[in-house]
Amino acid sequence: MTPSTLPTPLPARSPQPFRLSPELRTAALLTTLTLLGLLLGLVGEHLLRLPTLMWAGYGLAYLAGGIPSGREALRSLVRERKLDVDLLMVLAALGAASIGQMADGAILLFLFSLSNTLQDWAMGRTKNAIQALMDLNPEGATVRRDGTERWCELGEIRVGDLLVVRPGERVAADARVVRGQTSVDESPVTGESVPVDKEPGAELASGTVNLNGSVEAEVIRPAGESTLARLVGLMEEAQTQKSRTETLTERWESPYATAVLLGVPLVFALLYYGFGLPTDDAWYRAMTFMVVASPCAVVISTPAVMLSAMAAAARAGVLFKSSAALDALAGVQTVAFDKTGTLTQARMTLTHVHAPDERSALALAAGLEAHSEHPIARAVVMAAEERGVSPLALTDAQAVPGHGITARTPEGEVAWAGNLRLAGRQGADLSDAQRATLDELAAAGRSVVIVGTGDRALGLLGVADALRPGIRGALEQLSASGVPHRVMLTGDREEVARTVAREVGLSEYRAELLPEDKLRIIGELPGPVAMVGDGVNDAPALARADLGVAVASGTDVAIESADVVLMQNDLGRLAGAVRLAREARRTVRLNLAFAFGVILIVAPLAVAGQVPLPLGVIAHEGGTVFVVFMGLRLLRRRV
């Protein structure tokens, strides 16, 4: 494929339709055939009085509705050596047929088949998130390699290639912009609804959409390790790991099914020998008991809720690696935050300029720091650009290790910028007001740059790691969502930690911590504890906590160690995720209470002969459908 035959660019926000899988289409077809056979059997038995039509219709219903369940039951019995609800349903239908109630057995198989099809459809709705993520990858991209543009398939793109991304195209691999400016729709990956401006140096995530300008970007990760590939991997992993409730339910499914099967002959014996019921009546009630006592609704209660909640969270850029993580978040009482890169942006920013002529002092400082690559120097230069201050042209710039930098002004005078030691080395005495400002900035945790010429200190600049936008509001939302304890853990100095904690609204913090100190403190905090971090040094604490939460801008080690990933780097999403997790837990409890309630109420009534088999089937399968749709409600929740 050549650039002249490029595929039509995908629209920025195309809805992903739900596609029926071949398995789901087959299940729907068999359910339809079961219904058709049931209707033919009823017509042949009650309307036309044609035994041939009756037997043909009921035979079709039993085959179409019973063979799939029988196959699943046999597979579980032979391969896993366990009994399950499929076996109970098939035996109940055969039991109904054995006492001449062919119609009741056909109704049971139809409703059970319909219930399974609806479950598959519901699970497909949530699992469709993976396919939607995979569809975000284009077939390939235009690549400039060795000075030549050509179309490359996705697997052919290499690290170091230059992607040429035109308006309307999706980014094929994680890359860094080297030429051009544009706005990018990151909503498919991070959930961010507002387009993000990109300029040289900014990173592009695979699967995002270029909106208006053409850019060239250097590939920084192969396609298999891209942001999108990691998202798909996380989603696939999330849907295979189970919560404690799911694990417990599955563990007891087989023993419970065994108990029900053993209970059927006991119920029959009690009714036949104890109460003197005729054989047909006793067996009929035993079969009804088998149906209503089957744990279908119990088994599906938890996964229907968990997968729906995880899909809703993923749509907002909060990825749970398992439903166990979702369940853990619902019970969290303490959230511990790393500071740098989590509460802050890990980017130094100029916060204060104290000088009689602030613009002149900033121009001089920017002229000096333009010759340095230090993060503080970059913060000063960037602040000058943002404020429209032109750096002063200086010559003979020299770094003074551990002190700062010096240069010469156009008039030949020595200009300097650095710490208090450099000011003393230049023979500059700070005034009382300047010393008071220095102490004030140092107490607030600011890094201080003193700028001057000759033996005169012209001004003081305060630089600090910038807070994440809206971080204070995000932490307040977390408190409002029901998390009572929030604490900051950092390796920074006491004064820095105190200032940041005050600015973000945290009353508790621990400073000057080594990674092993964070581990110890995580174990001492009132639990369950969630740890939020981004760096390599946070990985042990993320793994040690009851729940690890990583921001996507963090290191690969942190993301691998965490149980939850905030793809948008927005801690405000964490409060919404807590609310969603707690609603999911409440829904699971409601579903389980409802499912067990149906069994506890209807099963004794079935034994007493107050519930006929068709009504028992409706109660059983209706309960299963109810708990599935209770779970699907969470798909509409906003995080």
What's the rounded Cα separation, in Å, for the pair 540 and 538?
A: 6
Tokens of 44: 């042949």
- How open is the CA angle 572-574-575, to the nearest 5 degrees? 80
9 and 147 housed in the same domain = yes
Q: Are 281 and 271 in contact (CB under 8 A)?
A: yes
pLDDT at 203: 87
Place of tokens 């009804």: 288
**Residue 19, burial from CB neighbour count under 10 angstroms (0-12, 13-18, 19+):** exposed
CA 499, chain centre distance (Å)? 31
The 3-state DSSP class for residue 124 equals helix
Q: 392-438, pLDDT tens digit by residue?
A: 999 998 888 768 899 999 888 999 998 888 999 999 989 989 999 99
Residue 573 belongs to a domain: no
| Residue at a domain's end among 417, 447, 467 | 467
Q: List the CATH number of the domain containing 149.
A: 2.70.150.10
Residue 431 belongs to a domain: yes
Residue 597 belongs to a domain: no
Task: For the sheet with 196-198, list strands across it.
Answer: 196-198, 182-185, 209-210
For residues 51, 57, 61 and 64, what is the CA-based torsion angle, rounded to 10 degrees?
Answer: 130
Residue 63 belongs to a domain: no
Q: 214-230, pLDDT tens digit by residue?
A: 899 999 987 766 666 66
What's the rounded Cα separation, in Å, for the pair 12 and 185?
A: 7
**Residue 297, burial from CB neighbour count under 10 angstroms (0-12, 13-18, 19+):** buried
Q: 82-132, pLDDT tens digit by residue?
A: 777 778 778 878 877 877 778 877 887 887 787 677 666 655 554 554 555
Picking from 592, 370, 365, 385, the residue whose alpha carbon sits closest to that of residue 462 is 365
Backbone φ and ψ for 608, nearest 5 degrees, come out as -80, -5
What's the rounded Cα separation, in Å, for the pair 18 and 130?
A: 12
Residue 166 belongs to a domain: yes
What's the rounded Cα separation, in Å, for the pair 82 and 297?
A: 18
Q: List the CATH number of the domain containing 398.
A: 3.40.1110.10
pLDDT at 363: 93
What's the rounded Cα separation, in Å, for the pair 531 and 522?
A: 8
Q: What is the DSSP string of 36-99?
A: HHHHHHHIIIIIS--HHHHHHHHHHHHHHHHHHHHHHHHHHHHHS----HHHHHHHHHHHHHHT
Residue 455 belongs to a domain: yes
Q: For the chain, what is the domain count?
A: 2
Could you tell me the residue range of the domain that residue 194 belongs to?
3-13+139-226
For residue 576, name the pLDDT band (cuts at 50, 70, 90).
very high
354 and 210 housed in the same domain = no
Q: 121-169, pLDDT tens digit by residue?
A: 655 554 554 555 556 667 788 898 887 888 888 778 888 889 999 888 8
pLDDT at 146: 80
Distant-in-sequence, close-in-space partners of 331: CB < 8 Å, separation ≥ 6: 528, 585
Which residues form the catalytic set? 338
The 3-state DSSP class for residue 157 equals coil
| Residue at a domain's end among 226, 254, 278 | 226
Calculate what percentage of the chain has a pLDDT beyond 70: 85
Averaged pLDDT, 251-265: 81
pLDDT at 583 exceeding the cut of 70:
yes
355 and 216 housed in the same domain = no
Strand 140-145 and strand 196-198: the pairing is unpaired
Supply the Cα-derived Rg of the chain in whole angstroms. 33
217 and 351 housed in the same domain = no
Residue 293 belongs to a domain: no
H or E segment to which residue 25 belongs: helix 22-42
What's the rounded Cα separation, in Å, for the pair 327 and 335?
A: 15
| Residue at a domain's end among 226, 250, 276 | 226
Tokens of 29: 């077809």
**Residue 527, burial from CB neighbour count under 10 angstroms (0-12, 13-18, 19+):** middle
222 and 368 housed in the same domain = no
Residue 299 belongs to a domain: no
Measured CA to CA in angstroms, residue 353 lies from 307, 437, 453, 508 at distances of: 52, 10, 17, 30
Length of the chain: 639
